[in-house]
Structure 1
Amino acid sequence: MEKIVQALRMEREKPFCAYIYDLPKLRQHVNQLVTTLPSSCRLFYAIKANSDETLMKTLAPIVHGFEVASLGEIEKVRAVDQKIPILFGGPGKTQEEIEGAIHYGVTLLHVESLHELQLVNHIASQKGTTVSILLRVNLRHSVPNAQLKMAGVPTQFGIDEVEVPQAIALAKKLPNVKLLGFHFHAMSNNGDSKAHAAFVDHCYELAKRWGKEWDIDISYVNVGGGIGINYQNIDEQFDWDDFMKSLHRVLEKHKDANWQTLFECGRYITSSCGYYAAEVLDIKQNHGRYFCVLRGGSHHLRLPAAWKQSHPFTIVPIEKWSYPFMRPEVNESEITVAGELCTPNDILARDQFVSRVRVGDILLFSYAGAYGWAISHHDFLSHPHPEHLYVESDSIGHSDAPKFVEI
């Protein structure tokens, strides 16, 4: 990727700032996930992580479907694929969104409250149809070390576990909804493979208990996503192979269950294929600390500021220097990486040791393919948007020059 960035910089006059997506890397990664899943499992891509059209078109032939959280996301999916299965969740759905879900043929609608359950039934009855639903459960216990929790703690998500029997009873009485199972998305950015398998086991136990008590013919159990990325130590990532071994044991334990298990991963699918590259505009020292100021920042890559963490990066040296005066640089020191915004909160990395960095070099942030551009406040201060570039080649590491598609 370093040589690619250097070549791209040489083609441009203005300071370089871009998102770069490695599409062969994305295909290889997701193919490996899909092919190693047990046959009773399905992998959906949660497009909230990154709803970039090119990435969605790349993923559509590989994943089993897409998970969405708004009518706008439903429309994005249908613009890419008219028939691919869609799961629709979210803590607050409008009448327009539910009508849109019916219109666009959403496969499963995740119902998050007793009110929403009645609203879905009412809208479906007006349209003379039946909507297939899963009840979203806010568990009383979740994965303890996940960075964000949607269940196991008081949140706006799902139906409290203790109220699920009431929701089941209501769903069974309503003529225009068809209860097919349960949705247990409970956490975000969990890095513990064994804890994740234990979570799946717990979901199965509850689903089996409710299915037996209420005579539900369960077709699906959605265990959500939540598989994380270790941004602090990129060499220690979620152990997918270990998770698969543990998952097989869990499935064997529950082999009497005749349902499909749905995963709706976002971050874990696209994060590693994306890079954010930003050129160093200035280097300064204030109060004894060095700051590298970028052409870019948290208005493009909000994730580090949102989670108050340092995002991993490497330095891409750029030898071209067009000015007649000395080029500022820092050697063998710690730097803080700041963006171009007029706020002290615009920080992408703090106190990171570098051997050498100069004005005009480019910082290349890895694992930027999820919750980067999609969640950022793009137009704050009206700076130019970054370019969005897509690397395409026959295989990763191919010696031929990569092809680029620019939007």
Structure 2
Amino acid sequence: MIENIVKSLKQEREQPFCAYIYDMPKLRRHVNKLIESLPSACRLFYAIKANSDETLLKALAPIVHGFEVASLGEIEKVRAVDESIPILFGGPGKTKEEIEGAIDHGVTFLHVESLHELQLVNYIAAQKRTSISILLRVNLRNSVPNAQLKMSGVPSQFGVDEEEVSGAIDLVRCLPNVRLFGFHFHAMSNNLDPAAHVHFIDHCFEKAKIWGKEWDLDLSYINVGGGIGINYQMVEEQFNWDNFILRLEKILEKHSDANWQTIFECGRYIASSCGYYAAEVLDIKQNHGRYFCIIRGGSHHLRLPAAWKQSHPFTIVPIEEWPYPFKRPEVNESTITVAGELCTPNDVLARNVPISRLHVGDILLFSYAGAYGWSISHHDFLTHPHPEHIYLDSEPINEADEKLVESR
């Protein structure tokens, strides 16, 4: 159990314990299951913005069909791990240097976000005497209504407005150094409804088929993005992948005349469940009638709860040892707010959580921390120490004294 491993790791350290812990076998099992269950015409890419840790990329490279990136820096991270794996490059505001880098590093598809970017890509490709394969990113007028974040169906900086697609296709026809292979529809983040997600995919197919027929396009790919979510509030009730696949197969059969490859570019859903954030309790105090638990760490390590204004799920790992001669602070049968060590009231990871018993020196183990945790956090604010990064790579992980642990 991960809790036993945390206890063992704590015993080996004198300083307050704070670490990201990655269960690598769990990651590989999870992603292998996703790949094996996908219909044959589908491709699963990992969106490395969720977590671009090199060890995770090395573990995923042999399993996924490719990586999705959003900067030249991410392209270089991928190429440092694998020189030939397919790469999709998206995101608004690509610079001349980034587009040149995409060409130099052999990016498979570049997702074009605007008419200006379309012309810039063509110009740079012409300067290099080459052509570049693109998918046209479209901001549809409809999206998934219950998704937590929306990039489409609302005014946003992402993609070409659906009403301007005809003009974009007209422009593509005039540009000799770009080749349009399909459309990109990444529209939302953290959707938990399989039926709504498949309905969105159906809508993407319908739109792409209309444009393909209207403009006599020879399309090969439709990228429906990622956006499959994690339920941070009720961790037992997660996105029903099996139900999603059953629904997806029906939609693909409905559109089998298109004969396209369907691309998914998931990040959070791939990496989240394999990662944990462990932080030792430094203090417990009562303030204005409420209990606060102060941890060694906080939002400079795990920014996700503050960014999403949510309480992040955790379990308490009790630690028996107490090295001091004075009384150990504790709280029993109450609710606590978990705060970090930063000098800001916004440094809160969980609010009003009921607990049975908690001591100073115990460790809070935050689950579903493998995505959008360390990678999006303001690491150096107040110059506190960074957490350890620990990779558990035994199979299976079930012994308290497991020694197959790599730490950096």
Under a length normalisation based on structure 2, what TM-score does the superposition of the two structures give? 0.99
Q: Is the 8 A contact 1:25 1:396 kept in 2?
A: no
Question: Do structure 1's residue 159 and structure 2's residue 160 form an aligned pair?
Answer: yes
Q: Residues 304-357 of structure 1: CA distance to partner in whole angstroms, max 9, x if unpaired?
A: 001110000000000010000000000000000000000000000000000000
Residue 362 (structure 2) aligns with: 361
Q: Distance in 1 between matches of 2:133 and 2:220?
A: 10
Q: Distance in 1 between matches of 2:6 and 2:326?
A: 25
Query: Residue 181 of structure 2 aligns to a residue in which SS?
Result: strand
Question: Do structure 1's residue 326 and structure 2's residue 322 form an aligned pair?
Answer: no
Query: Residue 219 of structure 2 aligns to a residue in which SS?
Result: coil
Q: Distance in 2 between matches of 1:40 and 1:399?
A: 43
Flag structure 2 segments of 5+ consecutive residues without an equivalent.
none
How big is the shift at 1:258? 1.3
Q: Distance in 2 between matches of 1:397 and 1:389?
A: 16
Q: Residues 225-262 of structure 1: CA distance to partner in whole angstroms, max 9, x if unpaired?
A: 00000000000000000000000000010010111000
Q: Residues 25-80 of structure 1: CA distance to partner in whole angstroms, max 9, x if unpaired?
A: 00000000000000000000000000000000000000000000000000000000
Question: Do structure 1's residue 207 and structure 2's residue 208 form an aligned pair?
Answer: yes
Q: Distance in 2 between matches of 1:248 and 1:171?
A: 32
Question: Do structure 1's residue 91 and structure 2's residue 92 form an aligned pair?
Answer: yes
Residue 284 (structure 1) aligns with: 285
Query: Residue 256 of structure 1 aligns to a residue in which SS?
Result: helix
Q: Is the 8 A contact 1:34 1:63 kept in 2?
A: yes
Flag structure 1 segments of 5+ consecutive residues without an equivalent.
none
The residue identity in structure 2 corresponding to 1:115 is: H
How big is the shift at 1:173? 1.4
Residue 351 (structure 1) aligns with: 352
Q: Distance in 2 between matches of 1:161 and 1:145?
A: 21
Q: Residues 102-154 of structure 1: CA distance to partner in whole angstroms, max 9, x if unpaired?
A: 00000000000000000000000010001000000001010000000000000
Query: Residue 231 of structure 2 aligns to a residue in which SS?
Result: coil
The residue identity in structure 1 corresponding to 2:359 is: R
Under a length normalisation based on structure 1, what TM-score does the superposition of the two structures give? 0.99
The residue identity in structure 2 corresponding to 1:364 is: L
**CA pair 399-380 structure 1, distance change in 2 beyond 3 A:** closer
The residue identity in structure 1 corresponding to 2:213 is: K
Residue 134 (structure 1) aligns with: 135
How big is the shift at 1:395? 2.8
Question: Do structure 1's residue 248 and structure 2's residue 227 form an aligned pair?
Answer: no
How big is the shift at 1:394? 2.3
Mapping for residues 168-187 of structure 1, pairs under 5 Å? 168-187=169-188
Residue 25 (structure 2) aligns with: 24
Q: Distance in 2 between matches of 1:312 and 1:362?
A: 13
Q: Distance in 2 between matches of 1:157 and 1:311?
A: 28
Q: Is the 8 A contact 2:336 2:354 kept in 1?
A: yes
Percent identity of paired positions between Structure 1 and Structure 2: 76
Q: Is the 8 A contact 1:315 1:357 kept in 2?
A: yes
Q: Is the 8 A contact 2:5 2:400 kept in 1?
A: no
Query: Residue 207 of structure 2 aligns to a residue in which SS?
Result: helix
The residue identity in structure 2 corresponding to 1:281 is: L
Mapping for residues 177-326 of structure 1, pairs under 5 Å? 177-326=178-327
Mapping for residues 391-406 of structure 1, pairs under 5 Å? 391-397=392-398, 401-406=402-407
How big is the shift at 1:212? 0.7
Q: Distance in 1 between matches of 2:398 and 2:360?
A: 29
Residue 341 (structure 1) aligns with: 342
Q: Distance in 1 between matches of 2:209 and 2:110?
A: 20
Q: Is the 8 A contact 1:90 1:110 kept in 2?
A: yes
Q: Distance in 2 between matches of 1:294 and 1:281?
A: 5
RMSD across aligned positions (CA): 0.9
The residue identity in structure 2 corresponding to 1:2 is: E
The residue identity in structure 2 corresponding to 1:311 is: H
Q: Is the 8 A contact 2:284 2:360 kept in 1?
A: yes
